[in-house]
Amino acid sequence: MKPQIYVTYPIQAEVEAFLREHCDIRQWQGDGRVPRETLLKEVAEVEGLYTGGSTIVGQIDEELLTRAPRLKVVSNVSVGYNNFDVEAMEKHQVIGTNTPHVLDETVADLAFGLILSTARRMVELDRFVKEGKWERTTDYRELFGKDVNGATIGIIGMGRIGEAIARRAKFGFNMDVLYYNRNRKPEAEAKYSATYCELETLLTQADYVVLMTPLTPETYHLIGEEQFKLMKKSAVFINISRGQTVDEAALIRALENGDIHAAGLDVFEQEPIDPQNPLLSMSNVVTVPHIGSATAQTEIAMAMRAAQNLVAVLTGKAPLDPVGK
Point out the residues that are catalytic.
Answer: 242, 271, 290
Would you say 277 or 295 has its CB closer to ligand NAP? Answer: 295
Instruction: Tell me how far, at minimum, the Cβ of 185 lies from ligand NAP, in Å.
Output: 7
Q: Helices 104-119 and 160-167: crossing angle, nearest 10°?
A: 50
Residues 6+ apart with CB under 8 A from 260: 228, 231, 232, 233, 235, 236, 237, 254
Would you say 40 or 123 has its CB closer to ligand NAP? Answer: 123
Q: Sign (positive/negative) of CA torsion 297, 300, 305, 308?
A: negative
Instruction: Tell me how far, at minimum, the Cβ of 183 lies from ligand NAP, in Å.
Output: 3
**H-type alpha helices, 159-242:** 160-167, 173, 186-192, 199-205, 225-230
Chain residues in the site for ligand NAP (CB under 6 A): 79-80, 100, 103, 107, 157-162, 180-183, 212-216, 218-219, 240-242, 266-267, 290, 292-293
Instruction: Tell me how far, at minimum, the Cβ of 288 lies from ligand NAP, in Å.
Output: 9
The answer to whether 5 touches 25, Cβ cutoff 8 Å, is yes
Would you say 215 or 310 has its CB closer to ligand NAP? Answer: 215
Please give the helix or strand (H or E) that residue 236 lies within, else none.
strand 236-239
Instruction: Tell me how far, at minimum, the Cβ of 161 lies from ligand NAP, in Å.
Output: 3
Instruction: Tell me how far, at minimum, the Cβ of 294 lies from ligand NAP, in Å.
Output: 7
Would you say 178 or 212 has its CB closer to ligand NAP? Answer: 212
- Rounded to whole angstroms, how far apart are CA atoms 275 and 273? 6
Residue number closest to ligand NAP, CB atom: 159
Q: Buried b / exposed e across 6-30, counting CB within 10 Å, b at 16+?
A: bbbbebeeebeebbeebbebebbee
The answer to whether 77 touches 30, Cβ cutoff 8 Å, is no
